Structure 1
C-alpha cells in the first residue's frame, strides 16, 4: 500500500472505540476516532484508555482522536459506529463534512424503528452521493479491542466495493468477509438481537440448554425466511451475521440483549439500560415486517408482544409450544 488510507470511526462508545483500536493496531492506515464528547476524547488522548466501556484495554498509540468533524474531508472510509436509531441523524449531521469519494460503513445492528427500513437504505437516503455498506457479525467490543481473533461480514450492493473495503479494514486479528447481500447481513444482525432477548428469557426462566438450542435453530429459520422475502439470501443468514452472531449473543451475559431477556424473566432490571438494547427497538419492527411480507415468525412475534406488555412470558411459552405441528 503506497499511500496510507484514512479511516475515521464516528462514535466513541464501546464498539466504535474497539473498531478504531483494531484498525489502528495494524499501523498501515491512518485511523481517527471522532466523537462529540470533548472531555471523553481528551481523556482518551491523554490516557489511551476508555475504562467505562473497555476496562483494562490500552488503546494503540497510532490511534488519533478528535471532536472536529472537518477531519471527515480527508477520509477514504467512514465507519458510523452509533446506535441504529441514531444513524440517520448522525449521517445528516456529518454529511456536509464528508469528502465526495468517502465510503460509508454502518456498524449498527438494527432496523430503523420510525420507518421500518434497513440502515443502509436509511444511509442511502441521507447520503445519496455515497456508497453505504453494513458491517456485522459476532464480536464483543472487549474482545475486538483486546486483539482477539474475530471475523465479521461486510456487505455492499457492489461486491467489488465490499472486497476492496474489507481488505482496507481487515487485519491480523480482524478478518472481514465481503458480501454482496446487504439485506441478508442486516436482517441477520438485527434479528439476532431479538432472538438473543428470547435466549435470555430462556436462561432467566431456567428452561435449560436444550430449549435454548431449539430456539436458536428455529430462530435462524425465521431470520432466513424474512431475509429471503426481502430480497436477501438464506445462505447469508447462516453465516457470520446471523447464525454466528446469534450463537455468541444468545449464550453470553456480555450481550446486552441477552441480559435484558434474563431481566425480563427474573423481573430484575438493575443495571439495565433499555435504551442501549437494540433488540428492544428491532422486535416490533421485525414483527411488522413479518406481517407485511407474509412471513411466519412466531418467536420474534412473541418477543415483540412480551416487550410491548401484550403477552406474559408463561403465556408466550405456552403459545409457542402448542403451535400446530409442521415439518422442519
Structure 2
C-alpha cells in the first residue's frame, strides 16, 4: 500500500472522523469523508470548515467531503469507521455487498454493545467476516490533534496489513501510530475508560485534591485490568497508550466529553440534562450499564463502576457512595504481575 495508489474512506463527520480524514489528506492520499447529512456535507465541502466541531479550522483542500456513500467508499483500500457505536450495525450493513474481501477496516468507536457484550470490531466482523479489521485507540483528543499537538495512538490488529496501512495513512510529524497485536485489549481499554472519565468529572466538580485524582486513576486501571483478564484480554495492553494513556487524558481533560458529563452530574444535574448539555455522543453513559451487568454476571469486583451505577440509576447520594468506597474491606493493590523479569 503506497501513498500514490491508496484511497481511504472515513465514515463519520464528527470531530474524530474529521481530524483523521484531514490527516490522511494531508499525507497526499486520496481521501473521502462521508457525512450522513447532505446539507452539512455540502456546507463543509464548500467552506472547507466543519464549523459544528472545529470553527476556524481549515480542512486540507485535497479532502473530499460527500454525503454519497457509494462515492465515498468507491475503490477505498482502507475504510476508517468513525461513526458512533450505535450506528455500526447500520453502516456495516451498507458496506455488505459493496466492498471486496481485501478492503481493510479500522474501527475507532470506543463502546460496547449491550446485546451480547459485543465490541465494535466484533460487530464489524459479524457483517464483514472476511475483511481484515483493526482497532485504533489511545489518548487522542480530537481538538488537540487538529491543533497539531504531539499525539500518539495505537492500531491493534491480527492483520499486519491493517496496521501498516493505517500507519501509512495517518502518521504525520505530529501524530505517531504505534502497532499492537491485542485488539481485544485495546478495544476494551478504550471503552472502559469512558466510565471512569465520568467519575473523574464528578470528582473534578467537587474540587477534590490530586491525591484523590491519583487514587481514582490507579484504581480505575486496576478494575479495567481485572475485567479484561476475566474476558481473556492481555492485562499488559492496559499499560500502554490504549490503557494508561487514554485513561489519564480522559480523566484529566475538560475536552473529554465523558469528563464533561461527569462534571455536570457533580453539579447536581440529571443524566439527561448532562448529556443534552454536551450535545455530542458520550460513549461512557451507555457503556456503564453494559459493563455493570457483565461484571455482575462474571462476579468481577468493580467498586467504582458499582458506585457510578448506584449514583445514576439508583439515585444514591454521592457522599454515601464515597463513604462506602473508602470504608470497604482493604484489598490488594497490584493483582497482575509480570513474572520472570
TM value normalised by structure 1: 0.94
Contact between 2:85 and 2:110, CA under 8 Å: does it hold in 1? yes
Aligned to 2:339: none
Deviation at residue 236 of structure 1 after TM alignment: 0.8
Q: Within the alignment, does 1:20 sit opposite 2:21 as a pair?
A: yes
* Alpha-carbon distance change, 55 to 291 in structure 1, aligned in 2, over 3 angstroms: same
Which structure 1 segments of 5+ residues have no match?
none
Measured after TM superposition, the shift of residue 150 of structure 1 is: 1.2
Q: Residues 16-50 of structure 1: CA distance to partner in whole angstroms, max 9, x if unpaired?
A: 111101111111x1111011111111111111101
CA-CA distance at 1:111 after TM superposition: 0.6
Separation of aligned partners in 2, 1:274 and 1:290: 29
| Equivalent residue pairs, number | 327
The answer to whether the Cα contact below 8 Å between 1:74 and 1:99 also exists between their aligned partners in 2 is no
Question: 2:154 matched to 1:153?
Answer: yes
Structure 1 residue 165 displacement after superposition: 3.2
Give the one of 290, 293, 297 matched to 2:295.
290
**Structure 2 residue corresponding to 1:272, chosen from 264, 270, 277:** 277
Aligned to 1:77: 78
Q: Say which is worse superposed, 65-74 or 242-251, in terms of deviation.
A: 65-74
Shift of 1:2: 6.8
Distance change in 2, residues 1:2/1:165 (3 Å) = closer
Indicate the residue corresponding to 1:316 in structure 2.
321
Partner of residue 206, structure 2: 205
Where does residue 67 of structure 2 map in the other structure? Answer: 67
User: Partners in 2 of 1:213 and 1:48 — Cα distance?
Assistant: 41
| Cα gap change, 1:166 to 1:305, in 2 (>3 Å) | farther
Alpha-carbon distance in structure 2 between the residues aligned to 1:275 and 1:167: 29
Q: Distance in 2 between matches of 1:2 and 1:73?
A: 17
In structure 2, the residue matched to 1:129 is 130
CA RMSD of aligned residues (A): 1.8
TM-score (norm: length of structure 2): 0.91
Aligned CA distance change for structure 1 residues 18 and 2 (closer, same or farther; 3 Å): closer
Q: Counterpart of 2:304?
A: 299
Distance 1:140 1:315 in 2: 33
